[in-house]
Chain A
Amino acid sequence: MKKLIITILFGLSLTNNSRASGDAAASALVSMALVGTIYSINSVQYDEWLKSEMESWKYDETDLTSSLSRGCDANLELRLHRNRRMSWIVLVVHNEKKEPIILNTDNMDVTFPNGAVRKMKSNHAVSDYKIDPGWTIQGVFPISEKAELANFKSMEVRLPFIDTTGKSVCELKGVLNRNDKREVDYLDYNRLLTVEFSLFYGNNLLATNSLKATSDKQGLFGILMNIYAYKNSGFTVGYLRQDLKKDNELTVKTARNLSALSLSETNYLIGYAVNFLHGRQFSTTFGLGLLGYTLEDTHEQNIHDMQNKTGEYINANFNYIYYSSDSFPYRGDYMVGLGFLFRNIPKFHIGNAVFGGASLAPYLDLNIGF
């Protein structure tokens, strides 16, 4: 009850006194709902964050990847997390000194057992970072290719501290170890997309029936969304639109004998999709499913006839990843490529004219994958 009263008061404070009480109540309800929703989302997100650690890097004693260490009068906690696309090191440093310490973020690195050294690139543009006495800082450092981690059994994180003149004074080190006794989770080393948006434009190369007769000069425009729910498999929803050319022969063949027949077709796609990422350069996607096909016969902006059919499609898509980023807010794979869309629509008639048929359309596309 107190919750409700406080919320309504909060809502009232946001509204003008002269407004109707209905507005105030609505405002209170909205604020109440928003606060509760944000709270619940935060809670779920943190739980998900805790669950997103690399399974094969968890210690048996804690079932966590968390690794604690100490040096330079500072405490360090390292964790190794991953999502579908990337993995990252979470780093927490607590200053126990009675004076500030300066972390030289430009020279932080990770050393692998084979001697390879990688700079730790932060998501945030910070240079030397001052940590006041008793303060704790946290940083997130993406690992650009998580598949590489499968080759290593440990990694040592090195954090250099400097004084105000820039001279190195101390190094804080921590180690993350792979646990060979644990099962490897599929997400640990495989880089996968979660959602992919595609915008494409193409034309029919091979076609039968009306798809040939009506579309050889007009382009096919479409948008697709692939959602990968299980490993690299998922489903596609899409929308394709094509304004067909005006064809005198078809006009004569139809029963209405209109002076100019104008046809347009719409396709709704729903089906299965599978994606393969080849390193950071290439991506291929294959899909097949059902196609809802609508042909509209319009004259002077009035629809004279509309035919709905259910067909099938097969889609193949080859993309070059021209930009890939793990840093917010540009996180994602940006791709350009080409694809082939095969459609099969059952035959049907308008007047004497035969519509439907099969077509193969090459297209160019722009993709963003997350």
Chain B
Amino acid sequence: MIKIKTILSIILVSFIISGCAKFITRLRVKPQLLYEDGLLISNSQTNPYRFKYENNQLRIDYALIIKNNVQEPKELDLTNAYYQANQEKSDLKCLFPKTNQTKKTLKFEEQALATCSVNITPSSLNALMLKDTDITLSIPLAHNIHNFTYRVFAEEFVQ
């Protein structure tokens, strides 16, 4: 007869093993559905919970669905995208995964998916732990730079 304490212990140990394996900084990104410069932009393809902490680096993956809503074709160039948290600023690698290019012309009513990723260094992580911080991903689309913001919750856990 298996005792109730044994079962509870097994459940507890399972929780600890599965839980500890997944500790990373908790970031949150709010849903955004914007219209700027004739472009409709949605971040619904970004998993707000999905961040990888590997080799002392926090990796953020971001995805944008973009649609040209005006007759004039839009030249998109993601080359100069960057990320900023507190005073730190670094490059953000963005591209259109369908073509593996950073540039694309969007015709009227055409849609595209753009993905971005950034590896945040340990020094940035230390800065992030000081207080609730916004990480800003700045992505140039057509003529404007669009800022997408993550809120970092410092009460959560960082390795």
- Does B50 contact A35, Cβ atoms closer than 8 Å? no
Q: Is B1 at the interface (CB under 8 A from chain A)?
A: no
Whole-angstrom CA separation of A40 from B156 in the bound complex: 14
Measured between beta carbons, the chain A residues less than 8 angstroms from B26 are 39
Q: Does A92 contact B (CB under 8 A)?
A: yes
Is the C-beta of A2 less than 8 angstroms from some C-beta in chain B?
Answer: yes
Q: A36-B18, A36-B157, A42-B49 are in contact. List 14 more A-B contacts (CB 8 A).
A: A6-B156, A7-B157, A32-B23, A33-B18, A33-B19, A34-B19, A46-B49, A61-B98, A61-B111, A61-B113, A62-B65, A70-B35, A92-B31, A136-B32
Could you name 11 residue pairs across A and B whose Cβ atoms are closer than 8 Å? A1-B159, A30-B15, A33-B12, A36-B22, A39-B24, A47-B47, A64-B65, A67-B111, A79-B44, A96-B35, A136-B32
CB-based contact A43/B47 at 8 Å: yes
Does B118 sit within 8 A of A, measured CB to CB? Answer: no
List A residues 46-92 near B (Cβ within 8 Å): 46-47, 50, 59, 61-64, 66-70, 75-77, 79, 92
A32 and B33 contacting across the interface, CB-CB below 8 Å: no
Q: Please tell me if the beta carbons of B50 and A46 are within 8 angstroms of each other in the complex.
A: yes
Which residues of the other chain, A, contact B159 by a CB distance below 8 angstroms? 1-3
Contacts of B12 in A (CB 8 A): 29-30, 33
Q: Does B88 belong to the interface (CB within 8 Å)? A: no
Instruction: With A66-B42, A75-B34 as known contacts, state yes or no: A3 contacts B65, CB within 8 Å.
Output: no
A75 CB contacts on chain B under 8 angstroms: 33-35, 40
Among the listed A39, A66, A79, which residue makes an inter-chain contact with B22, where contact means beta carbons less than 8 Å apart? A39
Binary interface encoding of chain B residues 77-103 relative to chain A, with 1 for a CB under 8 A from any of its CBs, else 0:
000000000000000000000100000
Contact with A along B128-159 (1 / 0, CB 8 A): 01000000000000000000000000011111
Contact of B113 among A36, A63, A69 (CB under 8 A): A63
B21 within 8 A of partner (CB): yes
Question: Is A191 engaged at the interface, CB distance under 8 Å to the other chain?
Answer: no
Q: Which residue of B lies closest to A95 (CB)?
A: B33
Chain A proximity mask over B1-43: 1 for CB below 8 Å, otherwise 0: 0000000000010011111111110100011111100001010
Least distance between B46 CB and chain A CB atoms (Å): 9
Check: A94 CB closer than 8 A to any chain B CB. Answer: yes
Q: What CA separation (Å) do A283 and B112 show in the bound complex?
A: 42
CB distance from A97 to the nearest CB of B (A): 11
Q: How many residues of B contact A (CB 8 A)?
A: 40
The interface residues of chain A lying within 8 Å CB-to-CB of B156 are 6, 35
Chain B residues near A (Cβ < 8 Å): 12, 15-24, 26, 30-35, 40, 42, 44-45, 47-50, 65, 67, 69, 98, 110-113, 129, 155-159
Nearest CB on B from A62, distance (A): 4
Q: Does A218 touch B at the CB level, under 8 Å? A: no
Distance in Å from the Cβ of B128 to the closest Cβ of chain A?
11
A29 x B35 contact (CB < 8 A): no
**A289 smallest CB distance to B (angstroms):** 26
Chain A residues positioned under 8 Å from B22 (CB to CB) = 36-37, 39-40, 43
Which of chain B's residues have a CB closer than 8 A to the CB of A77? 33, 42, 44, 65
Q: Is A138 located at the chain interface by the 8 A CB criterion?
A: yes
Chain B residue nearest to A92 (CB atoms) is B33
- Please name all residues of chain B whose beta carbon is closer than 8 Å to the beta carbon of A96 when the two chains form the complex: 35
Q: How far is it, in angstroms, between the C-alpha of A69 and the C-alpha of B39 when the chains are bound?
A: 10
Contact check, A62 vs B19: say whether CB atoms are below 8 A apart: no
Q: Contacts of B129 on A, CB cut-off 8 Å? A: 2
Q: Are B33 and A37 in contact (CB under 8 A)?
A: no
In the complex, chain A residues 181-224 whose Cβ is within 8 Å of any chain B Cβ: none
In the bound assembly, the distance between CA atoms of A76 and B15 in angstroms comes to 40
Q: In the complex, how many angstroms separate the beta carbon of B152 from the nearest chain A beta carbon?
A: 14
Contacts A32-B16, A36-B21, A92-B31; A66 near B157 (Cβ below 8 A): no
